[in-house]
Amino acid sequence: MPAISQRMHLVLLTAWTVLWFAVVEPHGGFSWHYLRTGGELIYQGSSGDGTGGLNLYAHHPELQMGPVSFLTAGLFNPFPEATGQFLAAALMSALGLVILVLAGRSAAHHFLGTGTNHQRLRQRVLIAGLAFIPMWIEVAVRFGHLDDVLALFFTALAVRAVTRGNAALTGAFLALAMDSKPTALAFVPLLLALPRHQWLRAGLWCAGLVAAAWLPFFLGDAQTFAAAKFAIPNHPASALRWLGIDDPETPGWDRPAQFALGLLLGGIAVWRGRWAAVVLLGANARIVLDPSVYTYYTASVLLGTLLWDVIGQRRLVPWWSWLALLVLYGSVFAVPDDSARGLIRLAFVAVSTAYVLLWPVRERGDRGGRRGRRRPPARTDEGPAVEAGARPEPPATPWAGPPAAR
């Protein structure tokens, strides 16, 4: 197969990304000022009025992004504000394409030795990517939420590390995700997708890097703990309303409940042999219990459906990605009633969660549709382990795309 045909899906996805970027960017950057302010404050140190540096979260609880996000955002501050925002939006848009490459390579590695048709895999990535990109531009360009972008990017890198059986990188990337956005805590069950003997190493890397990023702020100013209690209005279109929670603002138990539900569902997914659903379930836990309904929340769901569609199952049409886009994003424009939109969000979470946990799927290397509890192949000194009885494939798979780490 000619090399250009192997990369055609990436050419099409790049063109799709550029088109959406051109349409949205002139009216984008809705929340970029939060990142710009945080980027200025975190590099301020002991200078200024004393509200920056390690005092940042104590004096600015409204800045609910992680320190890695502010450190990254601060790199754009030397530019004029409009230029810095444009460059940041361009970089964040490009990371969406890198995530698609990572998802494809993760799937190729996961199915190594199973006789996977890589042409069909590329088609799945293309079709799912066409749904993913509009929501990615929503979070990256329209809202300019660098924290969500980095959290999802590092999570995609963690998934890649899981498929390669690399415990240290899995833990490190999950930590960086949480250091960018605390809501990434719901994706921690990905650690359990590693072989059991690697759990401790991965967990230590994860815990160590999380502590290194966050502890200085808590030790530097005890008022930092108050930032965790920052409340936002409970929107009439939130799924919380359908769960009987009519509090005007975020209930005190809400955020711990989001994390607990995400961790529980993710743990069940790994136990059921469906680790590729962890990100989708963690995102579901957030949108079903979050009092707000910002459209950029859906980007994390689309990353979850992308990973499920290309790694968690083997059907050609990745219909969960398109279903999530149409149901969660399309309903914002097609359904005027707040209460009805809340019910739609709740229904999507219930149906998609039940499906990925309970519906029979054809497992990796299983041509008969039997269910099993398989983990990704462990990496040995000679390379990825191959399932017993499967014919090994060469290390270089037909999956083509630019190196993600460049």
- Summarised one tens digit per residue, pLDDT across range 224-264 is 887 778 888 999 999 999 999 999 998 989 999 999 999 99
Q: Is 393 inside a domain boundary?
A: no
* pLDDT for position 49: 66
Q: What is the pLDDT of residues 263-285, one digit of tens each?
A: 999 999 999 999 999 999 999 99
What's the whole-number mean pLDDT along residues 3-19?
Answer: 84
Q: Is 104 inside a domain boundary?
A: yes
What's the whole-number mean pLDDT along residues 39-67?
Answer: 84
Token pair recorded at residue 366:
């299983």
Tell me if 193 sits within 8 A of 275, measured CB to CB: yes
For residue 130, count CB atoms less than 10 angstroms from its CB and return exposed for 0-12, middle for 13-18, buried for 19 or more: middle
Q: Is 405 inside a domain boundary?
A: no
Query: Smallest Cα–Cα separation from 287: which of 319, 311, 316, 254?
Result: 254
List CB contacts of 383: < 8 A, sequence separation 6 or more. Answer: 395
Token pair recorded at residue 212:
């290194």
What's the whole-number mean pLDDT along residues 20-43?
Answer: 94
Q: Is 93 inside a domain boundary?
A: yes
CA atoms within 13 Å, Cβ hemisphere of 332: 13
Question: Looking at 67-81, 321-335, 349-363, 382-396, which range is the least confident one?
Answer: 382-396
Q: How far is residue 91's CA from residue 76's CA, in Å, rounded to a whole number?
A: 11
In degrees and rounded to multiples of 5, residue 249 shows phi and psi of -130, 180
Q: Is 401 inside a domain boundary?
A: no
Q: Is 389 inside a domain boundary?
A: no
Q: Which domain holds residue 48?
A: 3-378
Query: Smallest Cα–Cα separation from 176: which of 163, 165, 166, 187?
Result: 187
CA distances from 401 to 13, 131, 289, 345 (A): 12, 19, 37, 35
Q: How far is residue 151's CA from residue 157's CA, in Å, rounded to a whole number?
A: 10
Q: Is 390 inside a domain boundary?
A: no
Q: How far is residue 73's CA from residue 391's CA, in Å, rounded to a whole number?
A: 47
Residue 139 clears pLDDT 50, i.e. is over it: yes
Torsion of CA 309, 89, 67, 294, to 10 degrees: -60
Q: How far is residue 330's CA from residue 23's CA, in Å, rounded to a whole number?
A: 18
CA distances from 33 to 78, 109, 223, 276, 301 (A): 14, 39, 23, 34, 25
Tell me if 361 sits within 8 A of 293, measured CB to CB: no
Q: What is the pLDDT of residues 351-405, one digit of tens each?
A: 999 999 999 876 555 433 333 344 444 443 333 433 333 333 333 333 333 333 3
List CB contacts of 228: < 8 A, sequence separation 6 or more. Answer: 255
Q: How many domains does the structure of the chain reveal?
A: 1
For residue 278, count CB atoms less than 10 angstroms from its CB and return exposed for 0-12, middle for 13-18, buried for 19 or more: buried
What's the whole-number mean pLDDT along residues 304-311?
Answer: 97
Residue with tokens 């409204």: 62
| DSSP H helical ranges for 60-145 | 67-73, 81-110, 118-137
List CB contacts of 354: < 8 A, sequence separation 6 or more. Answer: none
Q: How many CB atoms lie within 10 A of CB 253?
A: 11
Q: How far is residue 177's CA from residue 114's CA, in Å, rounded to a whole number?
A: 31
Q: How far is residue 296's CA from residue 347's CA, in Å, rounded to a whole number?
A: 19
